[in-house]
Amino acid sequence: MAIPFLNQHNTVIVAASISDFKQILFWSEAILYRHLNIIPIQSEREIAAAIEENPNTILVIDPKYALTSAQERVIQKCLTLGMNWCSTKIYLGQLKGYAEVENLVDVLEWMSGKNQNSESFILSKTKCLTRRFIACMLLTLTSPLLALIASTIAISSPGPVFYKQTRVGFRGRKFNLLKFRSMHLNAEASGPQWSSGDADPRTFAFGRFLRKTHLDELPQLWNVIQGDLCFVGPRPERPEFHALLEEAIPHFDLRTMVKPGITGWAQLFSGYAASIEESKRKIAHDLFYIRNTHSRMSFAIVLKTAEKVIREVFNFVVEKFINKNKEVV
């Protein structure tokens, strides 16, 4: 996911160290899949020519880089001409798809590009009603699949079909998340534990399939209807882990500034987080999503999630077929 205005720009002027310049050169070509004219700030004549010949230029600056008086004048001229600009941290984070933040200053810099204007009441309510309508339609269309999954769980493992769990949602408000049960009863008799996805030893056989394909999340369409979830957003954490991560990662609570989702950018690229270090990686993806959230990105995440689910189901069926043939032989 590139910076939006990079789609119209062909020249990048870099005011940063040699190592940062090399990183920008590498990631720009690796992610954008096309040639950019990337010019270091030291090449003043080349910059002057680029400004005249190509007005579609972006300026990437490292605030800590020591500029000469001549280089400062070049940058001031670029800004006077209305040139788009960003920091090296923002540029690289946008290209990589996650926010590299270590402290509050980094967070403020990263979030400075987010539109902070509140949506109008009418637009907000329209989006909410649309989400609920789509969730109702999906529940209706998938009802045969839901019934099949529910009956299989009832046969596979004694206990309730559905599982409710308290999660921390929008602006810290707690709600009950609904899922298909994928673990044995009393799986947390000794207290809350990190989940390791489909490899979790507490899951029963069919539960592992549900987790691997994320089909256990389907009942959360009801949470969308209730207004606790969106289709796309950061995954909500349990209160016990939220408090722990908020203490370990100072900016962790920022992920609650938007509604949580059934799927999300971090869910696609980070998966399950079973430690504080893995959660740091996940929050980096969440902050990237929050800064860049828009309808096209959300739609792309939904399509990518659907593709992932279909692929996981197909792989599971193929694996079972191969194993069954091996037993026959």
Gap between the Cα atoms of 97 and 297, Å rounded: 12
Distances (CA, A) of 324 to 199, 212, 213, 317: 21, 20, 20, 11
| C-alpha pair distances (Å), 244 with each of 7, 166, 198, 231, 257 | 40, 15, 23, 26, 18
Question: How do residues 56-114 score in pLDDT, each as one tens digit?
Answer: 778 888 888 888 888 888 888 777 777 778 888 888 888 888 888 877 777 877 877 66
Tokens of 258: 């938007």
Chain-centre distance of CA 179, in angstroms?
21
* pLDDT value for 46: 76
pTM: 0.77
Asked if pLDDT for residue 121 goes beyond 70, the answer is no
In total, the chain counts a number of residues equal to 329
Number of CB atoms found within 10 A of residue 329's CB:
5
Q: Name the pLDDT band for 322 (thresholds 50, 70, 90).
A: confident
Tokens of 72: 């400062």
Closest to 177 measured CA to CA, from 118, 218, 130? 218
Which pLDDT belongs to residue 164?
A: 93
Average pLDDT over residues 40-48: 76
Q: How far is CA 183 from the centre of its chain?
A: 26
Average pLDDT (256-282) is 87
Per DSSP, the residues of 183-211 read B-TTTTTT------GGG-TTB-HHHHHHH
Kindly list the structural domains of the chain, giving each domain's residue range(s) and its CATH number in brackets, ordered by start.
Answer: 4-96 (3.40.50), 121-321 (no CATH)
- pLDDT higher than 80, residue 8: no
- Give CA angle at 146 (144, 149), nearest 5°: 110
Nearest CA-CA partner of 38 in 52, 66, 57, 55: 57
Evaluate if residue 133 carries a pLDDT over 50: yes
Structure tokens at 297: 């990105």
Which tens digit of pLDDT belongs to each residue from 160-205? 999 999 999 998 899 999 999 998 887 776 777 777 666 677 888 8
Element (H, E) at 54: none
The model's pLDDT over 214-262, given as tens digits with 9 standing for 90+, comes to: 899 999 999 999 999 999 999 999 998 898 898 888 788 888 988 999 9
